Chain A
Amino acid sequence: MSASSNRLFSLQDIIGFAILAAVIFILLPLALDTFRLNLFGKYLTYAFVAVGLVLCWGAGGILSLGQGVFFGLGGYCMAMFLKLEASTPENTAIQSTPGIPDFMDWNQLTALPWWWEPFNNLAFALFAVVAVPVIFAFIIGVAMFRRRVGGVYFAIITQAFAAILTILIIGQQGFTGGVNGITDLRTLNGWDIRTDEAKELLYFVNGILLFACLFIAQFVRKSKLGRLLIAMRDQEDRVRFSGYDVASFKIFIFCLGAAFAGIGGAMFTLQVGFMSPTLVGIVPSIEMVIFCAVGGRLSIIGAVYGALLVNWAKTSLSETFPELWLLGLGGLFIAVVMLFPNGLAGVYAEHVAPRIARLFSKTSTTEAKQSKQSPAE
């Protein structure tokens, strides 16, 4: 690796970030109406998960097939706050017990469960959006990595967690809304999240948060920790023999990925207006890995494009071919994996970046030549 890659941002990184910022903050808002922009906002919430996966999987070699768990936990924490706010006694006057969420009433609960109480507080809910997934990830991480469970076994166990949490959510419908999820969310601290203005504002908040996560991810990758992660991915034993506490690094990066996913989940809830167990289970968790794979599992920017592209393809294919779209999507995945094993980022690195680099080096050499020549003239 050249010395320049140790800087936080190489020229290439800067170009990449600038293009992504232009796409998210200028191009999409200008090109799309509110409905479509809101959809892209939803896709971007998956990008949080994909960025976390790039750190865990691409850099650290920890393939988690259960990121939906963290996305879901973050989303549910947000949804609980919003649901309590929507369940004022006036709004729920027709229920047997007014003032509690409607699904609790349907399930014969007569009082709010104690662990729902703190979610009346926005600050607590926002804290929980990050803290709950991180605590969960920490417990899984300690249990797994301290015992040196890795690779395929880790992937399977995370998948089991996704299944367990889904069954738990669906089974405890009095407390969680069951299969229906937590629906009909209206306001955030009195601010109606269903209006067009709110949707647009939330899109930009989402974009800013995503960039914050991207910067953190970039910082981690360029730090010593990032280099150790790659070393661990390639030769874990050697890193351990060198005296590093491999498990702690892994736990940290896994928790960071969970935190990103939790934020993504909360933004999903805000933009879509509800949360349901269909975003928690095995299938969505695997889909999230696919976003990351399509974008390129080594590139945090690629992961964002991957999430955008796959979901956009999903929406437009299903709108155009409502009965055949899954085949098209499957074809897309196969094509990407066959033709571009490193995803979109790989295509960029192999074909686009060298040309840009050449362009820049040409201009810089001509500039250099000119500057050399000019004094002579």
Chain B
Amino acid sequence: MDMAVEAGVIKQHLIDPEICIRCNTCEATCPVNAITHDDNNYVVRADICNGCMACISPCPTGSIDNWRTMPLVRAYSIEEQLTWESLPAELSPEELEAAGVSADAGEEIAAAAAPVPAQAQTTAAEPVFNSAQYGATVPPWSAAHAYTNLFPPKTPTTATVVGNFNCTEAGFESETHHIVLDFGVVPFPVLEGQSIGIVPPGVDAIGKRHHARQYSVASPRNGERPGYNNVSLTVKRVTEDHQGDPVRGVCSNYVCDLKVGDTVQVVGPFGASFLMPNHPKSHIVMICTGTGSAPMRAMTEWRRRLRKSGKFEGGKLMLFFGARTQQELPYFGPLQSLPKDFIDINLAFSRTPGSPKRYVQDLMRERAADLAALLKDGASHFYVCGLKSMEEGVVLALRDVATEAGLDWDTVGAALKREGRLHLETY
């Protein structure tokens, strides 16, 4: 999910000093040495933490599970964190905007967030809606077992580039590449929904080695090319910052410029909960924007292969996919060629000239009847991947669909979380 970093926004991992007991478990557990301490506080280094979550469940207090959306330039430094007596509040949308966050991340970020204030107005007396609380931390019961951290940052492995092409229409500013990496004979098992880290070569401005950037795997478990030990990634080239000024994303440009035959340093795999269900009756609802489509492509492709082999009875697949324009939507062409009875595709374009702006949650509301049926079915699984600002709008849309269908959202939402059936991967 490196885009988030390169787009200038990070989901910064923080420790609540009021709850932390300074037991050192997190520091001892962290596989990338991102956690340090002084006599006062335990803190996380924003430039090293890769969000692998290895520290979360071992922490006895729960103080470790705190996240703040921050403009990269304003990320809390460790020096600052070491002085804290309590956690700072989340930056308000206005503060984020003032820091250039919403302007920069494209229309989607501002627009996807737009319904939220409207919702907030109508429910002003209610507690603030926290979409993240509904995200599951456990995989679906039928998910395959995921391997993680086979290659930690200290000991990356090497992969060879065997494919690299632009999967958006050429000539548009939002250029997204589909990259295929081959691991040869090195074991690198991945599942749909997992991510891997790429370590860009060279050093940063202060002479430190670049840290790894994480990307979701876009290929299914048996490889981009079935039966080969390879994976594919979906990487958007970052060429401008939030103000529209030219800037080169360190890792995205490196990856997009790779040639077939080049080698790259890879760490991972990461992620043990954003995994697809395997039982034949399971339904998958996928909601994404931009390169958040990578895990959705992986899951769709795995289901497509299963179906082709005649081994799958066919739970439903439903996709809500947002982009600025059709030309910028990764995999637009291949998506169009999937049979309608295999996947129910809903595309939202926010910047098609002459057409009104449409976002994924608008489409979800339009498809309320079908979504309600799926929400009532315990075999349905929901996956959300893309910009952070879409998360709340999407979960609110799910809540409204449930409520209008006479379901109690608190019950449904809690079940989705508990049963590993709603996964939020936003950045």
Q: Do A and B bind each other?
A: no
Please list the residues of chain A having a beta carbon within 8 angstroms of any beta carbon in chain B. none
